[in-house]
Chain A
Amino acid sequence: MWTGARDRYLAGTLSVVGGLLLWEFVSRILIANQLFLAAPSQIVYAIYTLARSGELEKHIAISAIEFAIGYVIAAVIGIAFGFGMANSVRCKQALQPWISGFYATPTIALAPLFILWLGIGIWSKVLVVIFLVLFPVTINTEAGLRTTSERLIEMLKSFGASRSQIFFKVSLPSALPFILAGLKLGIGRGLIGVVVAELFGSRAGLGRLIAQSADAFNMPELFAGVVVLAVAGIVLTAGFGWLENRLVPWTKD
């Protein structure tokens, strides 16, 4: 009998290890052509050599800066928009059509336009990230503030609380899980934004690395870029999960 933690991780570990072995086998024996598919071992080696030459670090640094600047700006503006929409009907009416429109639009398709406007430096990518992250954050913040329990608001009112006391003691904490969920959603979207925008045109960054590797038919390096991105996504999302456990423990059980 398998029980407890061992049981929980066993199937997952076996599945991942098995998958990697199968990948290695298919790539080395069945396809045996580095132009089509790189084996996991070749990818690891590519990551190692890229890291040693310092090239990987350069690409990661550029992508990370683009992501971080765009993400922080989008988070600040998104939360502010969400507050505005939740507190003012006029503000909500004015912003809602734009938010809904942009959220539904694949704004990443605008990346070439942004590059035309802002050049192939980091700012065009920052703008793409802002566009991708802003809307889920805004929508979640607004929804979180709007769905604050009437019962809790009434409880505070019964003690003669003012509007601002109700906001800070009830609405804001009860919206926090929603705001964090919006920010979490933004991580994945932001990473996609950075890479795709870099693919359209850039001097450096993980998207650039992937694009130039593809042009040179260097599959191990192409996969190296993808793997680094995947790891970044997993680490950031896991970090966020940890943050949620710290900040909003009452939503977990």
Chain B
Amino acid sequence: MVPKLRISHLGKTFSDLHALQDVNLDVERGEFISVVGPSGCGKTTFLRIVAGLEPASSGEVLLDGRAVHRPGGDRGFVFQNDSLLPWRTVFANAIIGREVAGQVGAAERQRTMELLKLVGLEGFENYHPRQLSGGMRQRVNLARALAIDPEILLMDEPFSSLDAQTREIMQTELMRIWEEGRKTVLFVTHQIDEAVFLSDRVLVFARRPGRLLESVVIELPRPRALAIKRTAEFVRYVDHIWRLIEDDVRASVIEEKV
């Protein structure tokens, strides 16, 4: 069977910098995959190549067996900053992907309304982004990506700008929403506990050159509640991943100071 997403020998160089080197990966339908690693490990570049926002220097990305070269409606991208259009209402923001594809019929409008309800924004359809909190704006961001009914959801550190409590709530919300449709997800984050909590598999990236170091299968039962973060098993996963990237993280922190 063809995997949902196949990445083979993917490489990316920016002038003389090896951002990514020989990344290979198969993702099954409905899998929730997180990507963690120190800053500069190429995890965001990796996601952007899958999205088609950035060309690969070598190798290829196959979605359902078809090569990906440019952005398309089969992938929904959730941005780190919400990137909402300030002059549009919540509803008009959420449906923009459909609008770009020229599909704004009754069915799509209905579906978008349902998604806004699903992400917990029922009653806020006519609000404008400036009237919403950071967490609510990220919910719109998520609904917008889901509204095109993508084959795969690509999420780029979507909760990194939220405060710690809101972030935890959004993690459980994302789990609840994901359980509804079981979309295939690629989720980039720098929070190890977030990656372990959400994922079926955590891809650990290393830097210089950016590469896939290890793929950690998370065998925690689903559905997961926040309390699972305090179990010994959960902590063991976090410790294991932290040890994999610790030296790299320290090196990157020192570099940033210099």
Interface residues, chain A, with chain B CB atoms under 8 Å away: 151-152, 154-161, 165, 169-170, 173-174, 248-250, 253
**B67 interface contact, C-beta 8 A:** no
Which chain B residue lies CB-closest to A162? B100
Q: Decide if B79 touches A159 in the complex (CB within 8 Å).
A: no
**B96 interface contact, C-beta 8 A:** yes
Interface residues, chain B, with chain A CB atoms under 8 Å away: 51-53, 70-73, 75, 77, 79, 81, 83, 85-87, 96-97, 99-101, 128-130, 148
Q: Decide if A160 touches B85 in the complex (CB within 8 Å).
A: no
A247–chain B nearest beta-carbon distance, Å: 9
- 16 new A-B contacts at CB < 8 Å, known A169-B96, A174-B87: A151-B79, A151-B83, A152-B83, A152-B85, A154-B79, A155-B83, A157-B71, A158-B77, A159-B73, A159-B97, A160-B70, A160-B73, A165-B100, A249-B128, A250-B86, A250-B130
Per DSSP, are chain B's interface residues mostly helix, strand or loop, or mixed? Answer: loop
Q: A151-B81, A173-B87 are in contact. Are A159 and B130 (CB under 8 A)?
A: no
Rounded to whole angstroms, the CA-CA distance of A159 and B72 in the bound complex is: 6
Give the one of B53, B72, B83 with max A CB within 10 A. Answer: B83
Rounded to whole angstroms, the CA-CA distance of A249 and B72 in the bound complex is: 32
Q: A158-B71, A158-B77, A161-B100 are in contact. Are A170 and B53 (CB under 8 A)?
A: no
Per DSSP, are chain A's interface residues mostly helix, strand or loop, or mixed? Answer: helix
Q: A169-B96, A253-B130 are in contact. Are A158 and B51 (CB under 8 A)?
A: yes
- Which chain A residues lie closer than 8 Å to B73 at the CB level? 159-160
- A159 is contacted by which of B71, B85, B128, B129 (Cβ under 8 Å)? B71
- Which chain A residues lie closer than 8 Å to B87 at the CB level? 173-174, 248-250
Rounded to whole angstroms, the CA-CA distance of A136 and B155 in the bound complex is: 42
Rounded to whole angstroms, the CA-CA distance of A173 and B53 in the bound complex is: 23
- Which chain A residues lie closer than 8 Å to B75 at the CB level? 158
Can you show 18 pairs from A to B with CB atoms below 8 A apart?
A151-B81, A152-B85, A154-B53, A154-B83, A155-B77, A155-B79, A156-B96, A156-B100, A158-B51, A158-B71, A158-B79, A159-B148, A160-B71, A160-B73, A174-B87, A249-B128, A250-B87, A250-B129
B216–chain A nearest beta-carbon distance, Å: 28
